[in-house]
Amino acid sequence: MKFSYDQYNHLVRLQKGELLVESLIQLVKSKNTSKEIKGSWLMGLGAARWAEIGTYNLETKDYKWQKLDGPLEIISLQGNVAWEGDEPVLHIHGTFSDDKLQTYGGHIKELEISATCEIFMHHWWGEDRLTRLPDDETGLKLLDL
């Protein structure tokens, strides 16, 4: 992973073989910035060797996961970073296309970069961290605003 930081944003380039979620959690936990990352909104694109994505069922309050084997174009990544206690929580959705140009999308559990992935992270600089709290109705941990 390589990145550039301008006191407000990170530009991140993940390299072949790196895992998206694992790498971004490592960056958020690191002390490589002058300020703590209290929260972030992110977007990105690139290519993946595989991706595990899912959809959430509100009735069962559970994800249904599916692994897509590549090569895959990462058409779009959209998500955010918040905190649950001392751990960063990433909520990322993605859209992918295969070699037949069929598209797939969903909540990203993890994916492996095949060539590169370029991510822009715009940080939240409010007084407090963005946090997630359990919501009984949905079964999800929602942003506490």
- Listed by start position, the domains of the chain span 2-143
Strand-strand pairing, 87-97 and 103-123: antiparallel
What's the whole-model pTM score? 0.94
Reported as a single tens digit per residue, the pLDDT across 86-134 is: 999 999 999 999 999 999 999 999 999 999 999 999 999 888 999 999 9
Confirm if 130 and 79 have CB atoms less than 8 A apart.
no
pLDDT of 19-63, one tens digit each?
A: 999 999 999 998 666 678 999 999 999 999 999 999 999 999 999
Looking at residue 36, its pLDDT comes to 84
Quickly state the pLDDT bin for 79 (edges 50, 70, 90).
Answer: very high
For residue 79, which of 88, 71, 66, 69 has the smallest C-alpha distance? Answer: 88
- Give Cβ neighbours of residue 126 (< 8 Å, ≥ 6 apart): 38, 39
Which of 1.10.3720.10, 3.40.50.20, 3.40.462.20, 3.30.1330.80 would CATH assign to domain 2-143? Answer: 3.30.1330.80
